[in-house]
Structure 1
Amino acid sequence: MNIESAAVNILKRGVDLDTKKRYTEALVCYQEGLQILVDKIKAERDDSTRSYLRKKVEEYMNRAETIKTLVIKQKEAGLFHEQVHIENDSTGHSYKTLFGRFLDDDVSFVVVEDPYIRSFHQCQNFLRLCELLVRSCTKLRHIELLTSKDNKTEKDQKSWLDNLASDLNKYRVQLIVKYSETLHDRQIILSSGWIIKIGRGLDFYKAPDNKFCLGMYDLDLRQCHETTVDIVHSKNIKQSYG
């Protein structure tokens, strides 16, 4: 595959997401595709090809700017809503793929509300999320987990989360764990205002067939249970949680 067709594939994906009103995902594709085309223009010697590529860059750049403006307006009005439907047995839905685009220097704290961070694999899912947060959010200072206890795993749960808290301290990130017996909502709240609501919480991945199969560690290759992810934005996060 040559450089230009690689860009075309990414931009086509952007158009598809754009059509489905998954605007923030479309923006990521447009930006990636545009960067490839801009690099191609710099190396291209044929004037007609350069002219054609410049026209395409301008076309997609205008659309990207339109989407950016639309997203800003929807956020300001409290109307932003993006939905991703994860089909049963589908792959390509790691935490990074689903909402990594919102994890940046604007995030200083994260609140995770999920009643099922109790068993070993559920606590590992939370660990994976913490790894992603630490790598992506350079100004992250604390993570708050609101979950529930289970009589069978309570002692282990505390040990696992204590170990994680100790390790996060090395990165100057504090882990605050709170428990609720009535918690039902499942959502990830970012200090930047983004709220990611996953129907099944963090635990929507199917168990791998064995410990030596693809998807054991790379969650983009892991099959999923059916669930829906809703992404909204609130301007009042810092007042409510900060």
Structure 2
Amino acid sequence: MTSNSLIEAGSIVMLRAIELEKQLKFTESLTCYEESIGLFIKALRSIPDNTQPEFKDRFRLKVSEYITHAEKLKEKLKKESENGNYHEQIVIEEGATGYSYKKVFGRFLEDGTVSKVWVEDPYIRNSYQIENFSHFCEVIVQSVSKVKNIYLTTGEDAQVC
């Protein structure tokens, strides 16, 4: 890829990162920031030193600002996660496909630091709901995280005989 196409691709991903951050989807946003920064760095390396020195210097400064912002976002996520305060809501439209448990939750498990999982779902009662919860647990157990406990809190069933 040429430096221009790398910059263009990085810009598209950067706009996505900014949009995700505005939507408070910080982990996805961080991933996009990191990807776009990588593309920008490749672009910088592909520009010869003796051509466009002013552009290269301005671009390098802007990439440095993006790196600083991404590091701050990463630190914020780390603190929120350590304090147990991190919350993210994912809206899945009815009938939507492509949202496996691994795809939705895998990014939280991939760093290997999760040891306990708490699930609050007041409606796990029917066999298909229990089966879905079981599939969710399989994804957790098969991840690189060494999860020791999975806690499930459900509501009371009003139809208990």
- Band of TM-score, shorter chain: 0.5 to 0.7
C-alpha distance 74-57 of structure 1, shift in aligned 2 (>3 A): same
1:26 aligns with 2:29: yes
Tell me how large the CA RMSD over aligned residues is: 3.6
Asked if residue 118 in structure 1 is aligned to residue 121 in structure 2, the reply is no
Structure 2 residues without counterparts, runs of 5 or longer: 157-161
Question: TM-score, normalized by length of structure 1?
Answer: 0.47
Which structure 1 residue ranges, 5 or more long, are not aligned? 147-181, 186-242
Structure 1 residues 50, 66: closer, same or farther in 2, change over 3 A?
Answer: same
Number of residue pairs matched by the alignment: 147
Distance 1:88 1:35, change over 3 A: same
Identify if the C-alpha distance between structure 1 residues 80 and 97 changes in structure 2 by more than 3 Å, giving closer, same or farther: same
Kindly, what percent of the aligned residue pairs are identical? 31
Q: Secondary structure at the match of 1:84?
A: coil
Q: Is the CA contact 1:95–1:129 (under 8 Å) kept in the aligned structure 2?
A: no
TM norm structure 2:
0.65
Q: Which has the higher contact order (CA 8 A, sep 6+)?
A: 1
Aligned counterpart, 1:184: 155
Q: Deviations over 1:134-187 (max 9, x none)?
A: 2x41x52546475xxxxxxxxxxxxxxxxxxxxxxxxxxxxxxxxxxx8239xx
Higher share of residues assigned helix: 2
Question: 1:75 and 1:110 mapped to 2: Cα distance?
Answer: 13
| Structure 1: distance between partners of 2:147 and 2:86 | 26
Shift of 1:11: 1.3
Q: 1:67 to 1:144 in 2, by over 3 A?
A: closer
Structure 2 CA distance, aligned partners of 1:22 and 1:140?
A: 25
SS in 2 for 1:16: helix
